[in-house]
Structure 1
């Protein structure tokens, strides 16, 4: 495997692949004997040791879980106690249920169910799905009821459960993408109805809540958006335009960004990237194909911020921001929007983009974004019919100082964005130093293409010049009958990780690519050195 730094063309051989450590310990309340699901056992009133959230604690996170906004979920968690608390509010007078689903099927999913009978008695039970229509009670009851009420509009159920119970019928709560299963009935008959059963991907264990972050006293908003762009009827379009950043008389910091999407076009916008342009660049005007006949529309390669399908806003930690207004900062950017118009709909105009929030109240550090992974063009490929296929992208940071032009300080990584297309199942970034694996920087073993969002690390990760960074992407291609090549279309593939770090340097990307001579020989092709 070779390692590619932006503009360097340097190559080196991969030395070692990492193992993946796993957490084997379980934390749960003592197992309770099985009990009928129509009554509430007194044991469930006991408090699980280490649970710090009271039955009336404010839950910081919330989301609607169905298209009609009938099901509303609130949740919070205690990392030290390894306990998560849920409150499910459903517009029904019947039973309600919440659990964790598998990737491809609801069969085997866990589901905590409860409700209030007409006589006022409550029922509550930890169950699992034997098949798509049948519930069965778990032998080990690992959910603790904190409250169950019914009024004229809602049935509300609050309960807690451990991150990992060791019950084979309970799915673990991890920092991976979690597929949350919800269901409800119109009465108290526990029967699943496909029209009232939903699965939604969520990051349950989020490191920070926006309310935990500082909001500057002075806030200025600037929109970077494409203007009245007629979305082509093609399956895939990469549209690019060049836009100025705000003109300021002194240094400012961008501290937050969010997507700006046009209603009814949301399903077509796959991702939006903002690239910094050099101040000496001669930039074209208008809107054009990013990677088409005019190479000028692919100028500028250093990512400032990025958003992808399923993401929301992201606010940087209180001590970092994107520098704006100094002689070293970009004055122009390239806005790239990837449209996926698989239904070939005509006559749709778009004005999507990125909204920036910036302030004159400066933070301690200027931040940057480092793009890692597999070089997409032209030799990233994945075979069809594979249950599991791995791609590896190696970055050797020993060339950073040469590329940067000045000494490169240790960088502190605080956030990340993972990116593959539809065949992607798992992504991780692993750090090596002097040939020894140090740690997994970030990972998601349950990656969902439809939920790509910038995430915070639980602690800063220090990367020193000379470290090796290995990106691993796992794909499943059982539904494909031809080779998948790396490329821009959603039906092509990518293997990328964007690391958000400080202090900023001039390195924009460091990606690996296969040894094409070795690959050709393994495929039985004749090659010349």
Structure 2
């Protein structure tokens, strides 16, 4: 009898697990959404299953014609994939996985890798929902990755499948967000504090870094900041490049007023530990439930430096701005205090890019072996939850790689399709643990084909940066860990006579004839040169060490998903092989089966009822 009761209990558990499994079906809630066009005609919702590697799109368009959504690359829509569908006047639906043969011609793929989940048309909208694998075996389908995705969307006013430029849009989106859906809840006691520059007259120059020092919320006990969002004046949005909030060590003597951050008064560049930041294209951000930025204790900063980078390329006169950052904070404490570690290439004075480069790599090394000494107390393992990538206009890709005991451990984060106009904090799918003694390497890839003179590291948008910000817990006092190469070695490898100072050596390189061969020599020399690693704390303590750039072992692509219909293009039969679809089951259904407990699988296969009957007979 006990066996029967136990098995019935397992049966209930199986049913419960089946009901609770996350299935992205025809009516399931989709967590993420964006408008894809300036006029808010095309509205995209989406969601994904990381384990099954399946994404669901729902496109809603104000039209009675066809609609389409897919992925394209950075430079052209030609070759981009587009899943299209619509409802004919007689009520019949059409749906197809296609690609762009040229800028206005669609051709159906040989392999149909999208699965229709719903297609409706009413008096106002045509709405199409479908699923597709992250990576199909069709070379006409663009992979869905954690990189910046260029989402291609289009529609027609009738059911004639022809692209028109005025009805075709491309928008950069991070499709594989993790913890940041659109409908996160706030604690009941949420309070708001604004950090802003008021009525600032933007100078009539290309680049201005305006800084001021402001107090954080005054609270009598510990609170956590759990969300922030930009405060932007609508007509000034195109002029605000980034907004950063730096925590000040409480021993700092801070100036008053507003001034150029990196101008004649060095006091306005005090405070270097970033706590929150926004950059062009970003939205609001709410931290994961377990972490927050601590305020209100003796160890927490009381003041911050607010830095706003303005890009007034048209030299417009008389423009006043009151931008800033809005903080949301609560007395309902999270489990951990968050910190931010800045990594990458030291911006001044060594960073350089030659002109005319199809690709040029820069490297910044961080060695954590002195973290504990500089922190003034033991440093716990740093658990990274989020990251922010940052270059200027020449940046094409970034990655952060972790090494331990001389061995590459993992790529912490990367973006091989970086878009300057979309810079947001992104979430990691899994916690990354950094231990004292680990090495961290930042690699930035640039393209300067449109430039005929050297590009140097600097604050202007036309200068360059190579930075990665890691958001981690528990917080320590290290604010940045930046590397730069021995520039003398680079000059000598180029066959030039080295000067005494780094700045003079940069001037020497400015006179180099930058042929493709010399570009590669300089890139190789930067990687092979000894790196100086500069560490800084929240209290502006600085210490240097040295190291060498390790090799980066590339990450292999996973297997593609073979479609259940159509053909697989033979040229994509890579050594990684296929992950074949299971019969008539959708890939999301297959994932649900893989994640079910044994009891649920037995139930579906008819084994558990048979086993119960046998045991009852035996009893």
TM-score clears 0.5: yes
Give the corresponding residue for 1:496.
467
CA distance in 2 between partners of 1:326 and 1:148 (Å) = 55
CA distance in 1 between partners of 2:291 and 2:180 (Å) = 16
Aligned 8 A contact 2:80 2:141 in 1 = yes
Deviation, 1:151, is 1.1
Which structure shows the higher helix fraction?
2
The 5 A counterparts of 1:482-493 are: 482-493=453-464
Deviation, 1:212, is 7.7
Give the corresponding residue for 1:477.
448
Aligned 8 A contact 1:214 1:318 in 2 = no
Give the corresponding residue for 1:313.
284
Aligned 8 A contact 1:180 1:200 in 2 = yes
Matched, 1:286 2:257: yes
The 5 A counterparts of 1:369-408 are: 369-408=340-379
Aligned 8 A contact 2:180 2:285 in 1 = no
The 5 A counterparts of 1:175-254 are: 175-210=146-181, 215-254=186-225
Give the corresponding residue for 1:347.
318
CA distance in 2 between partners of 1:226 and 1:72 (Å) = 34
Matched, 1:131 2:102: yes
CA distance in 1 between partners of 2:328 and 2:361 (Å) = 38
Deviation, 1:437, is 0.2
Tell me the SS of whatever aligns to 2:117.
Answer: strand
Give the corresponding residue for 2:407.
436
CA distance in 2 between partners of 1:471 and 1:313 (Å) = 26
Aligned 8 A contact 2:179 2:288 in 1 = no
CA distance in 2 between partners of 1:330 and 1:520 (Å) = 43
Deviation, 1:528, is 6.0
Tell me the SS of whatever aligns to 1:255.
Answer: strand
CA pair 245-68 structure 1, distance change in 2 beyond 3 A: same
Aligned 8 A contact 1:272 1:306 in 2 = yes
Q: Unmatched 5+ residue regions in structure 2?
A: 1-20, 501-619
Aligned 8 A contact 2:34 2:44 in 1 = yes
Give the corresponding residue for 2:3.
none
Deviation, 1:117, is 1.3
Deviation, 1:129, is 0.5
CA distance in 2 between partners of 1:447 and 1:402 (Å) = 35
CA distance in 2 between partners of 1:292 and 1:53 (Å) = 53
CA pair 127-340 structure 1, distance change in 2 beyond 3 A: same
CA pair 284-387 structure 1, distance change in 2 beyond 3 A: same
Deviation, 1:329, is 1.1
Give the corresponding residue for 1:465.
436
CA distance in 1 between partners of 2:373 and 2:28 (Å) = 53
Tell me the SS of whatever aligns to 1:264.
Answer: helix
Give the corresponding residue for 1:360.
331
Q: Deviations 1:256-284 (Å, cap 9, x if unpaired)?
A: 11111111111111000111112222211
Give the corresponding residue for 2:247.
276
Deviation, 1:214, is 5.7
Aligned 8 A contact 1:210 1:315 in 2 = no
CA distance in 1 between partners of 2:288 and 2:123 (Å) = 42
CA pair 55-253 structure 1, distance change in 2 beyond 3 A: same
CA distance in 2 between partners of 1:59 and 1:382 (Å) = 43
Give the corresponding residue for 1:75.
46
Aligned Cα root-mean-square deviation (Å): 1.3
CA distance in 2 between partners of 1:212 and 1:395 (Å) = 37
Matched, 1:164 2:135: yes
CA pair 439-212 structure 1, distance change in 2 beyond 3 A: farther
Which structure has the larger Rg over C-alpha atoms?
2
The 5 A counterparts of 1:248-263 are: 248-263=219-234
- Name which of structure 1's ranges 222-231 and 513-522 shifts more when overlaid on structure 2: 513-522
CA pair 191-175 structure 1, distance change in 2 beyond 3 A: same
Give the TM-score normalised by structure 2: 0.76
Deviation, 1:518, is 0.6
Aligned 8 A contact 2:31 2:183 in 1 = no
Tell me the SS of whatever aligns to 1:373.
Answer: strand
Deviation, 1:213, is 5.4
Aligned 8 A contact 2:33 2:182 in 1 = no
* Number of aligned residue pairs: 480
Give the corresponding residue for 1:102.
73
Matched, 1:421 2:374: no
Q: Unmatched 5+ residue regions in structure 1?
A: 1-49
Deviation, 1:243, is 0.5
